[in-house]
């Protein structure tokens, strides 16, 4: 029985042409004209305990695509056959392929929403020649801008502004430098969050934790601006409480922003380059902050 099954599968696959292979987590896609106005597609991939998906897209994007998502679930009966009915006068030439995150093979209750994929490609398929060519990600620039704006705004400028406020109060222009850098960092980070909202509306992926941390960051940023506008005078008795509030909210904001930046890099599987680049910037800031903190403590001891 197994021999006949293997021969049957081999005969089917031998009639299909390889469209794309060895690009998406060692997956292979085959396609062939099975009859008049009838095409067969076979997507095969090694079992990495994650879902694999193929989608037929009108514009190369995920939204509005017709897709099949498959994953192995040992606790249930394993399906050996599936059919997707597509009724169209103009077959979609844009094919999408995705591999899900590890150890998350199938959508789970309560919302059965797919986890974000760890790898994906988009190809343009020619039904006349039976060949496919990889196309660029339509949202790659938006995703890159989202990461850069947030990393620069929340993850670099805000820590620099906080360091100026703590370590350079003996200079006459520290307040203006601190305010300018923090305002610039806030609006750069705000632009990054807006690109993230746009990206989420187009991709519709499950990144709730990333969104919640981002919401906390922008909320704390707004609270800082409101706090500055309501800042009491230096002679006010409440000024020391305001200082405590302003400093600690800023610290929490910076920590959450750094965590979310690394988490966002992890979600997009952007690679070690992004982690190393931001990690180097962050390490430099930490080293400078430690040096300035030691210098500040020494000054306080001398006094």
CATH number at residue 180: 1.20.120.1770
pLDDT at residue 259, as a whole number: 96
What mean pLDDT, rounded, does the chain reach? Answer: 77
pLDDT tens digits, one per residue of 183-241:
999 999 999 999 999 888 877 667 889 999 999 999 999 999 999 999 998 888 899 99
Q: Final residue of a domain: which of 135, 165, 187?
A: 135
pLDDT tens digits, one per residue of 111-153:
666 666 767 777 777 666 666 666 656 677 888 899 999 999 9
Domain range for 257 is 140-302
Residues 222 and 281 in one domain: yes
Residues 187 and 128 in one domain: no
* 77, part of any domain: yes
* 276, part of any domain: yes
Residues 151 and 101 in one domain: no
DSSP string, 2-43: HHHHHHHHHHHHHTSEEEEESSSTT-EEEEEEEETTEEEEEE
Number of domains in the chain: 2
Q: Whole-model pTM?
A: 0.65
Residues 227 and 120 in one domain: no
* 192, part of any domain: yes
Residues 55 and 197 in one domain: no
Residues 163 and 120 in one domain: no
* 5, part of any domain: no
Q: Final residue of a domain: which of 117, 135, 153?
A: 135
Q: Give alpha helix (H) positions in the chain.
A: 2-14, 140-152, 158-167, 174-203, 208-229, 239-268, 272-302
For the beta carbon of residue 302, count every other beta carbon within 10 angstroms: 6
Residues 293 and 188 in one domain: yes
* 100, part of any domain: yes
Q: Final residue of a domain: which of 135, 167, 185?
A: 135
pLDDT at residue 187, as a whole number: 97
Residues 286 and 154 in one domain: yes
Residues 145 and 173 in one domain: yes
pLDDT at residue 22, as a whole number: 42
* 10, part of any domain: no
pLDDT at residue 107, as a whole number: 63
Q: What is the mean pLDDT of residues 72-90?
A: 59
Strand order in the sheet with 66-70: 66-70, 52-57, 94-99, 119-126, 131-135
* 1, part of any domain: no
């Amino acid at each position: 029985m197994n021999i006949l099954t293997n021969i049957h599968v081999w005969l089917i696959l031998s009639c299909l042409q390889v469209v794309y292979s060895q690009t998406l987590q060692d997956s292979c896609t085959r396609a062939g004209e099975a009859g008049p106005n009838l095409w067969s597609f076979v997507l095969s991939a090694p079992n990495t305990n994650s879902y694999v998906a193929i989608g037929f897209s009108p514009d190369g994007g995920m939204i509005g695509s017709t897709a099949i998502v498959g994953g192995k679930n040992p606790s249930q009966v394993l399906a050996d056959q599936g059919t997707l009915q597509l009724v169209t006068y103009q077959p979609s030439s844009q094919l999408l392929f995705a591999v899900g995150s590890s150890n998350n093979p199938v959508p789970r209750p309560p919302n059965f929403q797919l986890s974000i994929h760890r790898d994906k490609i988009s190809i343009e398929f020619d039904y006349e020649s039976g060949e496919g060519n990889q196309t660029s990600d339509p949202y790659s620039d938006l995703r890159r801008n989202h990461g850069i704006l947030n990393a620069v705004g929340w993850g670099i400028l805000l820590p620099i502004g906080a360091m100026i406020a703590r370590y350079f109060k003996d200079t006459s222009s520290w307040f203006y430098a601190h305010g300018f850098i923090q305002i610039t960092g806030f609006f750069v980070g705000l632009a990054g969050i807006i690109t993230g909202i746009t990206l989420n509306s187009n991709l519709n992926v499950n990144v709730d934790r990333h969104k919640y941390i981002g919401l906390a960051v922008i909320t704390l940023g707004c609270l800082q601006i409101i706090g500055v506008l309501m800042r009491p005078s230096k002679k006010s008795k409440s000024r020391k409480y305001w200082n405590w509030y302003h400093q600690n909210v800023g610290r929490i904001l910076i920590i959450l922003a750094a965590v979310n930046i690394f988490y966002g890099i992890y979600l997009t599987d952007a690679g070690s380059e992004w982690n190393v680049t931001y990690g180097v910037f962050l390490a430099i800031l930490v080293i400078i902050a430690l040096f300035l903190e030691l210098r500040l403590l020494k000054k306080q001891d001398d006094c």
